[in-house]
Chain A
């Protein structure tokens, strides 16, 4: 047993987190920054943070993740990191020639109180920032929130660059939140099918799913151009996908540039995708393309075909709040019973939303925002489930408890393909159903006695 010291009995822990379902802010900021075209993320702190974040993102996306660091030593930690950051900005623009440097803080630079805007001003005055290039920054103390908070803070910093001109540009801003590059591509595809002109940021498609052709470009063609981010103040409206990931940025645009915003759930599964498509249709004043309705119909068709296998099956799921809210809703919609739900990211609102979505589930539903995977495992020991959904780290529980397991969320370190196959939208919903049915039937094929081993399901 891999986790054989996990007791069945749940005792309250006040200080000790075991097997966290979250990680820290800067990695989210780094991922978001990669969604700006020509941007080098920069971690302001000691170099280990940057190394860890790059390693984890690299292992998840199987793509090069370039990011620089201020490489604090003890001296910088005592006297402040200004000298390091100024030197870094100069070196970065000279050696790597990015269009943008997106700086995020770490718990180290936050604790000593480095003031990013002041350092940027100094860098500009000292001509360390070449003409036409951009430096932006986000505070991402690791001891507040989670990786999701860091993502949100960096996207908010992008929105803060927006300006308003005389002319509306007729576009809809879409803030997709922390989803895979292929999900962002899928959102763009859906919008294109609906003939809606969108301005999406961040956009890691084309950055983190690049081709292999014998050339390495530190800054691939993908990503949202900084000019587009700046012009998001001229859009006719903003759709923010995910309260935790995207709402702050959308509200910044609203208050700064008077771009009206609507905060939706991330479009995972049937209903959340319905709401997204409906909102897109209304905000753009267009009708829904027939192809989109057809894709929806295919998803509904699959639900009806597969329903017999899903009905009242119990599920444990962990991940990020925006993703969980929509996915739990989807599970309920296909008559599965999500009963143990943990996100490491704190927020009481999450628990309320989940309780509301699962109110008719015919089992007791355990949900905890600031929970960890150790607790989730204990819940599973007390009330076993038929399916576990979560990131790679779930595999230890899945093996110990012998539960069919689907990798979904961040990080996925031990499987590939998740960077190419979207799980948002109707197509994404179809893929999710296919995965769920696959593991459930694999289990039946494995466990059924010979006389029950059947060709036809």
Chain B
């Protein structure tokens, strides 16, 4: 890699071309459609290609369907035994590696988060089938832990040899009587990214858990928080703020979640969607089946948090709640502002790049802009077009072969549990006042003209981008961390937050300001070259002369 050249010398077309020039023609053609120069046009959003296959041999940031299902969605649930049916590795790698925290430290709830369970399939199981072993493993898990529920996850070879995990789950559920057993066909090869796994997980949670609680929730302002995984304690901070406002979070999907939370989700009066990608369809299903409207929220960034709280207040349209929310915002903001003002002189004018998840690369731009930092380039690891372009493109999305084998479930109004939360008139009035239900505009409209939006960024392009545009900070995952840092650019993990967090809500904003301040002002980045490398020529004069 050559020496960095200053960003201003390049226009985005040049940069795009530089990213593509080394690829074989077929690869270049494909990648060209996933790299978009943001040209804001009159009322239209440019089209990007997303949710397509990863190119073999190109070092990708993506993971697999199993990772999305077990790791992301079900991983953070504390009182469900997660049993992986497959060779040992799949279960091992998803063992405590996402930093989703759980506060089941009291003794009333079970907490299986710290356990890693697997059928540890051996070659004989592959040859003769693994159903018997799975059945016995479920029995042993039940005998050892007596959990409320056992979730079974399929890995690649399970799908190939055709073990019927769902039949085994049904059989064991019937046998136990007091333990809900269900399974996920989340083999790693399905779909094109983690996204397929989120879908498979959510559908099963919706089918096997939601609506199953007998306990009635009688709180006044009840919401669900969808797409919040409590990485580094984000969910704790959001819950703190909600509680302070007098809002009850019935269920978080799925940070710090419990069986009962999922089972009671149908009792909320509003669903608030954080990560659009991983869960927007669940919000739709909750509305169709139970009559719960949904809105998009964002608790990343202090302003965004305030805005989201006000949105919730407006929905419930209760002056008492609206006033309380304003009071909380007024109480929290001064300390946030104080820290922000402290860091601003050092962060203003700095630049960032964000390549994470399926909403994070969007949400974190709020925090950066609060610090006066501009996002030069961003994109998602496993998003679909609607995450970039907005939900209006959903009806036009092509269903390709890889999407077709991800189950879609049809839901209709529940004969007993469906209950419209607002009358038609109330909804209309809200919409008329500018309130948006079921709306997400996506990443593209929020980014500046001429910024680069790149889907499924890979290591080669990441390195090129950094070399050409020299951002002050780069945000991605652990796999990208050290190759970027070797280039002398600080890298912040926005999947697992390195060791930091929370970054959501008001306290989270403060943490983030301080963390980014630390990263972009760290002296270490000035040590890249030794004095003798900066100035290697020796002259004939000695220093003491």
Interface residues of B in 73-117 (CB under 8 A from A): 83, 86-97, 107, 110-112, 114-117
Q: Let me know if A71 and B140 touch, CB within 8 A.
A: no
Distance of A357 Cα from B481 Cα, bound (Å) = 43
B54 closest partner in A (C-beta): A71
B112 touches which of A5, A85, A106 (Cβ 8 Å): A5
Q: Is A236 an interface residue (CB 8 A)?
A: no
> Which A52-82 residues have C-beta < 8 A from chain B?
52-56, 58-59, 62-77
Residues of chain A lying within 8 A (CB to CB) of residue B135: 15
A210 contacts partner chain B, Cβ-Cβ < 8 Å: yes
**B191 surroundings in chain A (CB, below 8 A):** 73
Given A13-B140, A23-B89, A71-B56, decide whether A143 and B66 contact each other with a Cβ distance below 8 A. no
* Interface check A396, CB cutoff 8 A: yes
A294 within 8 A of B: no
Set A52, A94, A142: member contacting B22, Cβ < 8 A: A94
In the complex, which residues of chain B have a beta carbon less than 8 angstroms from the beta carbon of A42?
Answer: 57
Chain A residue contacts of B133, Cβ below 8 A: 15
Contact A216 B463 (CB under 8 A): yes
Binds A, one of B215-223, B262-270, B435-443, B484-492: B484-492
Residues of the B chain whose Cβ atoms lie less than 8 Å from the Cβ of A2: 114
Q: Does B65 lie at the interface of the complex (its beta carbon under 8 Å from any beta carbon of A)?
A: yes
* With contact pairs A108-B157, A216-B486 given, residues A16 and B83 touching in the complex (Cβ less than 8 Å): yes
| Interfacial residues of chain A within 11-33, with CB under 8 A of chain B in the complex | 11, 13-20, 22-27
| Min distance, Cβ A218 to any Cβ of chain B, angstroms | 8
Smallest beta-carbon distance A174→chain B, Å? 28
Please determine whether A64 and B486 come into contact, CB atoms closer than 8 angstroms.
yes
A88 at the interface (CB under 8 A from B): yes
Answer yes or no: B411 CB below 8 A from chain A CBs.
no
The answer to whether A73 touches B125, judged by C-beta atoms less than 8 angstroms apart, is: no
Interface pair B23/A46, CB less than 8 Å apart: no
Given known contacts A94-B24, A95-B58, A107-B86, A46 and B188 CB-to-CB distance under 8 angstroms:
yes
User: B468 to chain A: closest CB distance in Å?
Assistant: 14
* Residues A107 and B156 in contact, CB atoms below 8 Å apart: yes
Q: Write the nearest CB–CB distance from A143 to chain B, whole angstroms.
A: 4
Residue of B nearest to A17 (CB): B120
Docked Cα-Cα span, A176 to B190, in Å, equals 38
Contact A58 B482, CB 8 Å, known A107-B87, A143-B87: yes
CB contacts under 8 Å to A, within B113-141, are 114-123, 125-126, 133-137, 139-141
In the complex the two chains form, what is the Cα distance from A88 to B54 in whole Å? 11
| Interface bits A120-148 vs B (CB < 8 Å: 1, else 0) | 00000000000000000000011110110
A18, A72, A146, most chain B CB atoms within 10 A? A18
Judge whether A55 and B93 touch: CB under 8 Å. Answer: yes
Report the Cα distance A225→B236, complex, angstroms: 51
Mark contacts of B139-177 with chain A using CB atoms, 8 A cut-off: 1 yes-contact digit, 0 otherwise: 111011100000000011101110000000000000000
> Cβ of A74 and Cβ of B405 under 8 Å apart?
yes
Say if the beta carbon of A3 comes within 8 Å of chain B: yes
Contact of B27 (CB < 8 Å), options: A85, A91, A144? A91
Given A24-B88, A216-B463, answer yes or no on A89-B57 (Cβ-Cβ < 8 Å).
yes
B53 in the interface (beta carbon within 8 A)? yes
- With A5-B115, A143-B122, A215-B486 known as contacts, the answer to whether A48 contacts B63 (CB < 8 A) is yes
A336 to B191, CA, bound (A): 53
Contacts of A74 in B (CB 8 A): 189-190, 401-402, 405
Q: In the complex, how many angstroms separate the beta carbon of A374 from the nearest chain B beta carbon? A: 8
Instruction: Give the shortest distance, in Å, between A122 (CB) and chain B (any CB).
Output: 15
B188 touches which one: A49, A96, A144 (CB < 8 A)? A49
Residues of A within 8 A of B116 (CB): 18-20
A51 in contact (CB, < 8 A): yes
- In the complex, the answer to whether B53 meets A24 with C-beta atoms within 8 Å is no
Q: Which residue of A lies closest to B486 (CB)?
A: A216
Whether the pair A214, B529 counts as a contact (CB closer than 8 A) is yes
A232 to B145, CA, bound (A): 53
Interchain CB contact (< 8 A) of B481 among A23, A58, A112: A58
By the criterion CB–CB under 8 Å, are A77 and B156 in contact? yes
Whether a CB of chain A sits under 8 angstroms from the CB of B371 is no
A213 to B189, CA, bound (A): 38
* B348 close to A (CB within 8 Å): no
Contact yes or no, B66 A108, CB < 8 A: no
Assess the A27–B157 pair: CB atoms within 8 A: no
Q: Within 8 Å CB of A24, what residues of B?
A: 87-90, 92
* Interface flag for A87 (CB, 8 Å): yes
Taking a contact as CB atoms under 8 Å apart, the answer to whether B58 and A142 are in contact is no
Q: Mark A202-227, 1 if CB is under 8 A from B, else 0.
A: 00000000101111111000000000
Distance between Cα atoms of A62 and B63 in the complex (Å): 20
List the B side residues contacting A181 at CB < 8 Å: none
**Residues A143 and B57 in contact in the complex (CB < 8 Å), given A96-B460, A112-B160:** no
Q: Are B144 and A95 in contact (CB under 8 A)?
A: no
Question: Known contacts being A72-B189, A77-B160, is A396 close to B114, with CB within 8 Å?
Answer: yes
* Cβ–Cβ contact B92 & A23, under 8 A: yes
Instruction: Kindly state whether residue B339 has any CB partner on chain A within 8 Å.
Output: no
Q: Which residues of A contact B23 (CB under 8 A)?
A: 91, 94-95
Residues from chain B with a CB closer than 8 A to the CB of A217 are 1, 486
Contact A3 B486 (CB under 8 A): no
Task: Determine which of B57, B156, B529 lies in contact with A92 in the assembled complex, contact meaning CB atoms within 8 Å.
Answer: B57
- Proximity string of chain B (180-209) to chain A, C-beta cutoff 8 Å, 1 when within and 0 when not: 000000001111100000000000000000
Inter-subunit contact B64/A111 (CB<8 Å): no
Closest to B459 in A: A66
A16 near B115 (CB under 8 angstroms)? no
Question: Is B428 on the interface with A (CB-CB < 8 A)?
Answer: no
Bound CA–CA A2/B102 (angstroms)? 11
Q: Are A49 and B64 in contact (CB under 8 A)?
A: yes
Q: Decide yes or no: A68 and B59 within 8 Å by CB, A47-B54, A77-B160 being known contacts.
A: yes
What residues on B are CB-neighbors of A262 within 8 Å? none
Cross-chain contact A63 with B189 (CB below 8 angstroms): no
Of chain B, the residue at the smallest CB distance from A88 is B57
Determine if B308 is an interface residue (Cβ-Cβ < 8 Å). Answer: no
A84, CB-defined interface residue at 8 Å: yes
For B529, the chain A residues whose CB sits under 8 A away are 213-214
**A84→B56 contact, CB < 8 A:** yes
- On whether the beta carbons of A15 and B53 are closer than 8 Å, the reply is no
Instruction: Enumerate chain A residues within 8 angstroms of B485, measured Cβ to Cβ.
Output: 212
User: B189 contacts A3, CB within 8 Å?
Assistant: no
Give the chain A neighbours of B459 by CB distance below 8 A: 66
Within 8 Å by CB of A73, from B94, B402, B477, B479, lies B402
**A347: CB under 8 A from chain B?**
no
Contacting pair B160 A108 (CB below 8 A): yes
Q: Is B340 an interface residue (CB 8 A)?
A: no
Question: Within 8 Å of chain B (Cβ to Cβ): is A269?
Answer: no
Cβ of B254 to closest chain A Cβ, rounded Å: 19
Contacts of B368-404 to chain A: CB distance below 8 A: 401-402
- Whether A45 is near chain B, meaning CB under 8 Å from some CB there, is yes
Task: Report the separation of the CA atoms of residues A67 and B91 in the bound assembly, to the nearest whole angstrom.
Answer: 21
Give the 5 A-B residue pairs with the shortest CB-CB distance, closest first: A48-B64, A24-B89, A88-B57, A91-B57, A214-B528
A residues lining the B interface (CB < 8 Å): 2-5, 7, 11, 13-20, 22-27, 42, 45-49, 51-56, 58-59, 62-77, 84-85, 87-92, 94-96, 106-108, 111-112, 141-144, 146-147, 210, 212-218, 344, 374, 393, 396, 413
Add 13 more A-B contacts to A59-B97, A214-B488 (CB < 8 A): A14-B140, A20-B91, A45-B188, A47-B62, A51-B62, A55-B477, A71-B60, A73-B402, A87-B55, A95-B27, A111-B126, A212-B527, A215-B1
Q: List 23 A-B contacts (CB under 8 A).
A: A5-B144, A16-B118, A16-B137, A17-B120, A23-B88, A23-B89, A24-B87, A55-B97, A63-B482, A73-B192, A88-B57, A107-B126, A111-B160, A143-B121, A143-B122, A144-B123, A147-B89, A212-B527, A214-B488, A215-B487, A216-B463, A216-B483, A217-B486
Question: Hey, which bits of chain B sit against chain A, CB under 8 A?
Answer: 1, 22-24, 27, 53-67, 83, 86-97, 107, 110-112, 114-123, 125-126, 133-137, 139-141, 143-145, 155-157, 159-161, 188-192, 401-402, 405, 459-460, 463, 477-479, 481-488, 524, 527-529, 533
